[in-house]
Chains A and B, each alone.
Chain A
Amino acid sequence: MNLNATFISGRTVNQGCNLENKTSQAYFDAAAYCEMNSKDASSLGVEPGNNVKVTTDHGSVVVPMAICDGNPDGLVFIPMGPWANAVVDPDTKGCGMPGFKGLSAVVEPTDEKAPTMPELMARLK
């Protein structure tokens, strides 16, 4: 079962704490996860820490799932960083700012492994 969702990215404290520490496990833990509310998580049949694959028109990424019950139904969040960037929209619509928020996404459970930061970047070279 897949979840049709709206995707957003944004800052968090832990992502901020590791901005100058991006090769560390701590940064991975701070930026490589996808938050959704408990209801959406159970509809997907995933537990916190299980991997999910988030796909938009612009790409897809595998990250662990985390619960945030502040999210309304169908809203998923990945902290700003390389994992979120794998799915955001590079088109600025003529104003300089890419689409980091409000994208249509499909979220599905997966057995695939979440990529490390260097693995993600290696795809782009």
Chain B
Amino acid sequence: MIIKDVLCPFCGCLCDDLAVEVENNKVVDVKHACKIGASKIMGHDRIKAPMMRDDKNGEFREVSYDEAINESAKILANSKRPLLYGWASGLCEMMAKGILLNEEVGGIIDNTASVCHGPSVLGVHEKGIPTGTLGQFANRADLVVFWGCNPVQAHPRHMSRYSVFTKGFFANKGRKSRKVVVFDVRKTDTAEMADEYVQVNPGEDYLVLSALRAIVADKADVVPDSVGGVPKEKLVELGEAMKAAKFGIVYFGMGLTQSRGKYKNIDNAISLITELNAHGKHSIIPMRGHYNVGGFGQVCAWETGYAGAVDMSRGTPYYNPGETCSNDLLMREEIDAAFVIAADAGAHFPAQSIARMGKVPVIQIDPFHNPTTEMANIVIPTKVSGVELEGTAYRMDCVSLRMRKLVDVDFPSDEEVLDKIIAKVREIKGASS
């Protein structure tokens, strides 16, 4: 059987044109997907059953779901400052349950944006964000900028489906309709395909953005001969090209959010784009990593008023990035339990943060064995969302789509596990109050 129009549960492109061949309840072929998406859908070795251990250096023993769930609930209910982290590879439905669990235990809920596009959210607090849906850019953009992102490696179909090669209504010659510029600290595979590669010194993106803003504001006279490693003549040429564009789009990645300046880089980039709208039409959009990391921001915002890093210890949602983000909490040694679901803190947090997780009970909900498993006391395997479970995810442009189920498995869903933990936490808390 071939299932058509399948959505890909890997990156924020959320490609929805895959054809997946399923035989005897097994995926045997994936068409139209990129290498990463196909690899994900074809599947990998997974954790077979729930596991527990008291000593993190000891061996796991297999346990029943009930035992693992009850023990997890006990840890969370008795914890004073639990961190509930991850969420990005799950569906919106389970995220809402996670927010409810966080209310029940008075913990902090945070997601992978913390180490990805969290600074972009801070930039939006400062300036808002002029953006749009990917089809708008595909149909119109004549100037495409990739800044600190490398879609050839991280979002392999982005350029063909949405940004560069695709033909649009106005950009009807595809690649030939667009000028492509890449700003990066190194000549990436994406830069190889661009019309212009602008090499920026590491940590000096903010300066380059400021110079472009000055040029766009007709104040090129204040720009020194070289900024961030880029000669002034090149900057003037780029600034003028931006002003002349009918529709410019900037796609940006962790080259901006993780480099020196962090959210200030985003603030400056958004300011540049806002100012350019006095000349033509310009938009900017973050290249989101996990296929549904955008969904967490959306669900968390409508549930709590904030896009992430929400501390419920006061009984009402409290948000103060830098205080309530995962790595700040870990480095301040506040956390006394960690619940990691649908993301791998172990693989993507600094070692010193993980070392803190080494000192507290760690509960992991995930289909796969990964570095977080190495740090865990309890491991509960669940369905792979978007392959074994249908539900909602948000593309990088905040368009919500419904993921399909391709095969049936016996594992419980994240949502089912969360429901049971919530019920058990209520039981424990109810008994003690």
The residue that A68 contacts in the complex, of B114, B186, B349, with Cβ under 8 A, is B186
Contacts of B64 in A (CB 8 A): none
Interface stretch of the complex, out of A40-48, A92-100, A106-114: A92-100
Per-residue contact bits, chain A 56-78, to B (CB 8 Å; 1 contact, 0 not): 00110000000011111001010
Given the complex of chains A and B, what is the CA–CA distance between A42 and B326 in angstroms? 40
By the criterion CB–CB under 8 Å, are B368 and A22 in contact?
Answer: yes
Interface membership of B153, Cβ < 8 A: yes
Contact status A59-B351, CB under 8 Å = yes
Binds A, one of B172-180, B278-286, B369-377, B399-407: B369-377
Complex: how many Å from CA A22 to CA B39? 13
Answer yes or no: A39 CB below 8 A from chain B CBs: no
A8 at the interface (CB under 8 A from B): yes
**What are the residues of chain A within 8 A of B228 when measuring CB–CB?**
none
Beta-carbon contacts of B245-268 to A below 8 Å, as 1s and 0s? 000000000110111101100000
Q: In the complex, which residues of chain B have a beta carbon less than 8 angstroms from the beta carbon of A16?
A: 10-11, 36, 153-154
Q: Does B289 contact A22, Cβ atoms closer than 8 Å? A: no
Contact call A98/B346, Cβ cutoff below 8 A:
no
Known: A16-B154, A22-B344, A117-B374. A75 touches B367 (CB 8 A): no
Chain A residue at smallest Cβ distance from B199: A72
Partner of B351, one of A23, A86, A96: A86
Cα distance A20–B44 in the bound complex, in angstroms: 7
Mask of A82-125 contacts with B, CB within 8 angstroms, 1/0: 10011011111111111111100000000000000110111111
Q: CA separation between A96 and B289, bound complex, in Å?
A: 17
The 9 closest A-B pairs by CB, nearest first: A96-B325, A70-B187, A121-B374, A94-B322, A90-B350, A11-B154, A16-B36, A102-B203, A96-B321
Enumerate chain B interface residues (CB-CB to A < 8 A).
10-11, 34-36, 39-40, 43-45, 56-57, 114-115, 118-119, 122, 150, 152-154, 156, 185-189, 191-192, 199, 202-203, 254-255, 257-260, 262-263, 289, 309, 321-322, 325-328, 330-331, 344, 346-355, 357-358, 367-371, 374-375
Say yes or no for A3: interface residue by CB 8 A criterion.
no
Flag if A97 contacts B354 (CB, 8 Å): no
A92→B118 CA distance, assembly (Å): 11
Determine whether the beta carbon of B358 is less than 8 Å from that of A101.
no
Cβ-Cβ contact count across A and B, 8 Å cutoff: 191
Q: Tell me whether B346 and A11 are in contact (CB under 8 A).
A: no
> Would you call A21 and B368 a contact (CB within 8 A)?
yes
How far apart sit A81 and B351, CA to CA, in the bound complex (Å)?
10
Q: Is A81 in contact with B347, judged by CB distance below 8 angstroms?
A: yes
Residue of B nearest to A6 (CB): B202
B39 & A17 in contact (Cβ 8 Å cutoff)? yes
Q: Is the CB of B350 within 8 A of A101?
A: no
Take A91-B331, A97-B118 as given contacts and tell me if A75 and B350 are in contact as well, using a CB distance cutoff of 8 Å: no
A96-B114, A100-B258 known, 14 other contacts, Cβ within 8 Å: A10-B154, A13-B36, A13-B154, A17-B39, A21-B368, A72-B199, A85-B347, A85-B349, A92-B322, A97-B257, A98-B327, A101-B259, A102-B202, A124-B355
Q: Is the CB of B254 within 8 A of A10?
A: yes
Tell whether A17 pairs with B35 under 8 Å between CB atoms, given A91-B331, A124-B375.
yes
Chain A's interface: helix, strand, loop or mixed, by majority? loop
On whether the beta carbons of B10 and A92 are closer than 8 Å, the reply is no
| Residues on the A chain within 8 Å of B255, using CB | 10, 101
CB of B14 to closest CB in A, whole Å: 15
- In this complex, the member of B114, B189, B347, B355 whose beta carbon has the largest number of chain A beta carbons within 10 angstroms is B347
What separation, in Å, do the CA atoms of A95 and B34 have in the docked complex? 34
Contact across chains for A70 and B371 when beta carbons are under 8 A apart: no
> Chain B CB within 10 Å — which of A10, A17, A123 has the most?
A10
Contact A92 B327 (CB under 8 A): yes
Q: Which residues of the partner chain B approach A58 to less than 8 Å between Cβ atoms?
A: 350-352
Contact partner, B374, options A13, A17, A122, Cβ 8 Å: A122
Q: Which residues of B contact A72 (CB under 8 A)?
A: 185-186, 199
Task: Return chain A residues, CB-CB under 8 Å to B327.
Answer: 90, 92, 96-98
26 residue pairs A–B, Cβ–Cβ below 8 Å: A10-B154, A11-B150, A13-B154, A16-B36, A17-B39, A17-B40, A20-B43, A21-B39, A24-B44, A59-B352, A70-B186, A77-B186, A82-B347, A85-B350, A86-B351, A90-B331, A90-B351, A92-B325, A95-B122, A95-B262, A95-B322, A96-B122, A96-B309, A100-B350, A121-B346, A124-B355
Known: A13-B36, A22-B344, A102-B260. Contact between A121 and B321, CB under 8 A? no
* Distance between A93 CB and nearest chain B CB, rounded to angstroms: 7
- Which chain A residues lie closer than 8 Å to B187 at the CB level? 69-71
What are the residues of chain A within 8 A of B188 when measuring CB–CB?
70
State how many angstroms separate the Cβ of B52 from the closest Cβ of chain A: 16
CB of B326, distance to nearest CB on chain A (Å): 8
Instruction: Give the nearest-CB partner of B369 in chain A.
Output: A23
For B192, what are the chain A residues with a Cβ–Cβ distance below 8 Å? 70
Docked complex Cα distance between A67 and B385 (Å): 37
Q: Is the CB of B371 within 8 A of A117?
A: yes
CB-CB under 8 A from B259, the residues of chain A are: 101-102
